[in-house]
Amino acid sequence: MARIKPQALLNQSKKKKGPSRISISTIVVCNLVVAVVVLSLVTTYRHWSQRSRNTLETQSQRFEDTNAVSQQKNYDLPGYADISTSKGLITVELFKDASPEAVDKFLDLCQKDHFKGMPFHRVIKNYLVQAGHSSSSIPIEEWTANGKLRGRLDTSPKHEAFMLGTPKNKGNNKDFELLITTAPIPDLNDQLIVFGRVLKGEDVVQEIEEVDTDEHFQPKSQIGIISIVLKREL
């Protein structure tokens, strides 16, 4: 057998153990691929982030526009009314923000002359005066019994004297009635919708309150609403 020289073995060993070289072009291509991937991820993130911000801004703008339209609508609606009665003039302020549904119905009925000629069919001294085209569905006994409890209950500003309201159980426009309190009546919280207050003409309300009534609290002489004029300003 032929013997291999030690120098030849050493050279063969160095050739086997030497690392393989990576070309420069391969390194450049790999770096370009990584750069493209990173750039793609950044671009995608920015796109969805901007889209999310745009969506939020659009929703916020729509909400602001809706509020602006609602506020403009309330601003355009009349906020006051002159109620001309057979005893004199009563000026009331309407609670457009606190009782929008009742105010809207009241304004609509005023434009249809619903209250023209409406009589005051119930007058309870130191309690209220009520105008309507039909008899009240609240029993007389309940009105008078609640009146006796009046001094024992806490009051809130909206149920003080000279507040304008309507009974809750009057669901349709035909039966919509007007009621002006002449004393605090917090015991009617569940039955009365307050949507305004008297600004001028408290003496007229008191004059209506002083008329003679029968045992059913109905005035013996005819007293009623002549007309209602709506106003945006006093």
For every one of its 234 residues, what pLDDT tens digit does the chain have, with 9 covering 90 and above?
Answer: 555 555 555 555 555 554 556 678 888 788 888 888 888 888 888 888 787 777 777 666 665 555 544 455 555 789 999 999 999 999 999 999 988 999 999 999 999 999 999 999 999 999 999 999 765 545 555 555 554 444 444 445 557 899 999 988 655 666 789 999 999 877 666 778 899 999 999 999 999 999 999 998 999 999 999 999 999 988
The pLDDT assigned to 7 comes to 57
C-alpha triplet 137, 156, 134: angle, nearest 5°: 15
In a 13 Å sphere around the CA of 86, the CA atoms on its Cβ side amount to 14
Give the CATH superfamily of 80-231.
Answer: Cyclophilin-like (2.40.100.10)
According to the model, what pLDDT value does residue 28 have?
Answer: 78
Q: pTM (2 decimals)?
A: 0.64
List the beta bridge partners of residue 85.
88, 225
In this predicted structure, what is the pLDDT of residue 65? 54
Question: Minimal CA–CA distance to 196: which of 86, 113, 117, 90?
Answer: 90
Q: Where are the domains of the chain?
A: 25-62, 80-231
Cα dihedral angle (95, 97, 102, 108), rounded to 10 degrees?
90
